[in-house]
Amino acid sequence: MSVILVFLLVIAGFAGWWLSHQRLTTKPWLEQGVAGDFVGLDRSALPTAKIGLGVFLAVVGCLFSLFTSAYFMRMGLSDWRPLPLPRLLWLNTGVLVLSSIALQCAVVAARQGQIDMVRLGLATAGLTALAFLVGQLMAWRQMTDDGYLLSSNPANSFFYLITGMHGLHILGGLVGLGRTTVGAWNGARPGRLRLGVELCAMYWHFLLFVWLAIFALLAGWAATFIDICRQLLT
């Protein structure tokens, strides 16, 4: 359970930082009125939707940390047979990176008000994300053809489970991306469009990060890295 505890420690750090700005040591019974002192305590200047997405990403991060924790605990048992990852995953990783870059371009374009570039960026991001999903399915096919079935070994089970969960999150993101893209073509208000594109980009970058982390996990590098850390500590 160490992975999830480390993750929660990070969350606790954020929460602590935020709480420390809420003047938790004041004596509210002595303070009356709406004085200038309180400016900045009312709410954050960030758009509410971004904060909402941030909280949601914390939940998603929690989910994948728990899968990782379970992975490490199950890995220690004797019947674990690590599996060779298909080379296709490298290509998929590249495609997902492209998707993130395209969205980042769309964000820059939206800030500069270049609607054509926004449309191009959104469409590219959507298509590359779809290509990533197709690539993942093909990787699954390769695995099953090579005899690495879901239930034949826990390493296989975790591979399908974690990549599947990540794929589902991409699929959900595509719904949001689709709505933003439709808005970009039907002339959504510039402010609204910009916020939508920024939210998509935030979600995409996070899922790219999650993918890199689970790729490292499934390829076994994460375990090697932790072994090295452990040896350094002991």
In 3D, which of 149, 155, 105, 99 has the Cα closest to residue 129? 99
Looking at the Cβ atoms of 19 and 228, the one nearer to other proteins is 19
Looking at the Cβ atoms of 52 and 94, the one nearer to other proteins is 52
The string over 189-225, giving b where at least 16 C-beta atoms fall within 10 Å of a residue's C-beta and e elsewhere, is eeeebbbbbbbbbbbbbbbbebbebbbebbeeebeee
Q: Within 146-189, where are the H helices?
A: 154-185
**Assigned token pair, 95:** 């495609």
Looking at the Cβ atoms of 105 and 193, the one nearer to other proteins is 193
Residue 188 within binding range of other proteins, rule CB under 8 A: no
In 3D, which of 179, 166, 177 has the Cα closest to residue 124? 177
Per-residue binding letters, 133-162, with other proteins (x by CB under 8 A): -----------------xx--x--x---x-
Residue 189 within binding range of other proteins, rule CB under 8 A: no
Residue 10 within binding range of other proteins, rule CB under 8 A: no
Stretch that binds other proteins, among 40-48, 107-115, 132-140, 204-212 (CB under 8 A): 40-48
Residue 62 within binding range of other proteins, rule CB under 8 A: yes
Residue 234 within binding range of other proteins, rule CB under 8 A: no
Residue 187 within binding range of other proteins, rule CB under 8 A: no
CB 197 within 8 A of CB 118: yes
Residue 42 within binding range of other proteins, rule CB under 8 A: yes
Q: Exactly one of 17, 79, 87, 116 binds other proteins (CB under 8 A); which one?
A: 79
CA atoms of 200 and 32, how far apart (whole Å) = 42
Q: Tell me whether residue 38 is exposed, middle or buried, using C-beta atoms within 10 angstroms of its C-beta: 0 to 12, 13 to 18, 19 or more.
A: exposed
CA atoms of 77 and 104, how far apart (whole Å) = 42
Residue 6 within binding range of other proteins, rule CB under 8 A: no
Q: Exactly one of 2, 6, 52, 146 binds other proteins (CB under 8 A); which one?
A: 52
Provide the minimum distance between the beta carbon of 97 and other proteins in the complex, in angstroms, as a whole number: 26
- C-alpha distances out from residue 173 to 133, 168, 181, Å: 12, 9, 12
Looking at the Cβ atoms of 69 and 104, the one nearer to other proteins is 69
CA atoms of 119 and 36, how far apart (whole Å) = 43
Q: Exactly one of 10, 20, 43, 117 binds other proteins (CB under 8 A); which one?
A: 43
Q: What dihedral angle (degrees, nearest 10) is formed by the CA atoms of 150, 57, 97, 193?
A: 130
| Interface with other proteins (CB under 8 A) | 1, 4-5, 8, 11-12, 15, 19, 22-38, 41-44, 48, 51-52, 55-56, 58-59, 62-63, 66-67, 70, 73-74, 77-80, 150-151, 154, 157, 161, 165
